[in-house]
Amino acid sequence: MKPGQVTVLLRQWKDGEQKAKEELAALIYPEMRRLARYHMRVNRDLQPVLSPTELVHEAYLRLCGQERPDFEHRAHFYHVAARIMRQVLVDIVREQKALKRGGGQAPLTLDATRIASGDPPVDVLDIHQALDDMEQFDARKARVLELQFFVGLTAEEIAELLGVAVITIRRDARAGIAWLRDRLRGPQSEAQPNET
């Protein structure tokens, strides 16, 4: 994929060019498949409920189902993709909980080793709420964690998308994960991620 190719196609799609939407779909579908496989690997509890193909199709339909999207650039597109993947997972968890009302079924989880190594798995809904809360006082850290957890991007890729230094992304990720760990372990913490 050439630099700027996604941004050019997004602009053309926004201007109503269906061919651009089709070209963009061909570019992003393999990445969406990779993300779905990633989520199925780190969320083993999803496997009886959802296949990687079903996950990617649901996220893809939500992402590309718009006639005239308002994506500003590649970074905005990936941010929206992260949000959609996160929302698909949250919707699945909510649906399962509504059907089973707990029913002894283990909660769907994200890769707990990234959030709180050694701690028990964390419910996707708890992470979703914690990220929403973090976004209220530190949107960039919340976005970094969202892109890392829900899109599977590296620090280098996130730095490029957000236009900041890799070291800043790594610091944001460490501080954000520390805040999430504290938040998800016990009583509702009012602390904010360190501004290091």
pLDDT interval class at 13 (50, 70, 90): confident
Cα separation, 80 vs 100, in Å, equals: 30
Q: Which two tokens stand for residue 185?
A: 């372990």
Report which of residues 10 and 109 the model is more confident about.
10
Q: What is the pLDDT of residues 33-69, one digit of tens each?
A: 777 777 766 666 666 667 777 777 788 788 777 666 7
The CATH classification of domain 109-196, taken from the options 3.40.980.10, 3.30.499.10, 1.20.140.10, 1.10.10.10: 1.10.10.10
Cα separation, 196 vs 186, in Å, equals: 24
Any idea where the domains of the chain sit in the sequence? 1-102, 109-196
Percent of the chain with pLDDT over 90: 12
Cα separation, 180 vs 78, in Å, equals: 22
Closest by CA position to 88, among listed 111, 45, 58: 58
Report yes or no: 81 and 63 within 8 Å, Cβ to Cβ.
yes
Predicted model pTM: 0.59
Report yes or no: 120 and 162 within 8 Å, Cβ to Cβ.
no
**Average pLDDT rounded to a whole number, residues 145-163:** 84
Report yes or no: 161 and 75 within 8 Å, Cβ to Cβ.
yes
Helix (H, G, I), strand (E, B) or coil at 123: strand
In this prediction, residue 47 carries a pLDDT of 60
Closest by CA position to 78, among listed 86, 90, 66: 86
**How high is the mean pLDDT of the chain?**
75
**Average pLDDT rounded to a whole number, residues 169-196:** 74
In this prediction, residue 92 carries a pLDDT of 77
- DSSP class of residue 186 equals S
pLDDT interval class at 164 (50, 70, 90): very high
